[in-house]
Chain A
Amino acid sequence: MSSVLYDTPGPRAKRRNIVLSVVFVVLLAALLWWVWKTMDEKNQLEWSLWKPFTQSEAWSTYLWPGLANTLKAAALSMVIALPLGAAFGIARMSDHKWVRVPAGVVVEFFRAIPVLLLMLFANEFYVRSTGIPSDERPLYAVVTGLVLYNASVLAEVVRAGILALPKGQTEAAQAIGLRKGQTMTTILLPQAVTAMLPAIVSQLVVIVKDTALGGVMIGFTELLNSRSTLAAFYGNVIPSFVVVAIIFIVLNFALTSFASWLEKRLRRSKRSTGAVLGAEDMEELNPAATGGTFGTGAGGSI
Chain B
Amino acid sequence: MSIYVTHPEAREIVFDFLSDYNDPSLLGAFWVTIKLTLLSGVGSLIWGTLLAAMRVSPVPLMRGFGTVYVNVVRNVPLTVIILFTSLGLADIFGVTMGSKVFETRDFRLAVLGLAAYTAAFVCEAIRSGINTVPLGQAEAARAIGLNFSQTLRLIVLPQAFRAVIGPLANVLIALTKNTTVAAAIGVAEAALLMKEMIENEAQTVLIGAVFAFGFVVLTLPTGLFLGWLSKRLAVKR
Residues of A within 8 A of B (CB): 3-7, 9, 13, 17, 20-21, 24, 35, 38-39, 42, 44, 108-109, 111-117, 120-121, 124, 153, 156, 160, 198, 202, 205, 209-210, 212, 217, 224, 237-238, 241, 244-245, 248-249, 251-253, 256, 272-277, 281-282, 284-302
Contacts and interface: CB of A to CB of B under 8 A. Distances in A.
Contacts of B61: 17, 20-21, 24
B16 interface: no
A5 to B, nearest CB: 6
Contacts of A296: 118, 121, 170-171, 173-175, 178
26 contacts: A5-B56, A5-B156, A35-B93, A44-B92, A209-B76, A212-B79, A238-B88, A241-B84, A245-B76, A249-B72, A253-B75, A256-B71, A256-B75, A274-B136, A275-B131, A288-B126, A288-B132, A291-B167, A291-B169, A295-B74, A297-B178, A298-B174, A299-B177, A300-B78, A302-B183, A302-B215
Interface stretch (B5-13, B98-106, B203-211): B203-211
A300 B118 contact: no
Contact of B174 (A3, A108, A299): A299
A120 B138 contact: no
A112 B80 contact: no
Contacts of A289: 128-129, 131-132, 163
Contacts of B71: 253, 256
Interface in B64-114: 65, 71-72, 74-80, 83-84, 87-88, 92-94
B59 interface: yes
A70 to B, nearest CB: 10
Contact of A38 (B92, B167, B178): B92
Given A209-B77, A301-B181, A301-B184, A281 B216 contact: no
Nearest to B169: A291
Nearest to A250: B75
B131 A284 contact: yes
Sorted nearest first, the 4 A-B pairs with minimum C-beta distance are A291-B166, A296-B174, A302-B180, A252-B75
Interface of B: 1, 56-61, 65, 71-72, 74-80, 83-84, 87-88, 92-94, 118, 121, 124-139, 142, 147-148, 151-152, 156, 160, 163-164, 166-167, 169-171, 173-175, 177-181, 183-184, 190-191, 194, 204-205, 208-209, 211-212, 215-216, 219-220, 223, 227, 230
A276 B183 contact: no
B29 to A, nearest CB: 11
A113 B212 contact: yes
A226 to B, nearest CB: 13
Contacts of B57: 6
A276 to B, nearest CB: 4
Contacts of B79: 212, 224, 299, 301
A302 B177 contact: yes
Given A117-B211, A300-B180, A288 B164 contact: yes
Contacts of B170: 153, 156, 291, 293-294, 296
A241 B83 contact: yes
B30 to A, nearest CB: 12
A282 B211 CA distance: 42
Contacts of A121: 1, 205, 208-209, 212
A39 B171 CA distance: 34
A17 B59 contact: yes
Nearest to B127: A281
A281 B67 CA distance: 11
A288 B129 contact: yes
B167 A302 contact: no
A118 to B, nearest CB: 8
Contacts of A42: 92
Given A120-B205, A288-B167, A293-B167, 17 more contacts: A5-B142, A5-B151, A38-B92, A111-B219, A112-B219, A114-B215, A117-B212, A202-B124, A209-B77, A224-B80, A238-B92, A284-B131, A286-B163, A289-B129, A294-B124, A294-B128, A301-B191
Contact of B77 (A202, A248, A277): A248
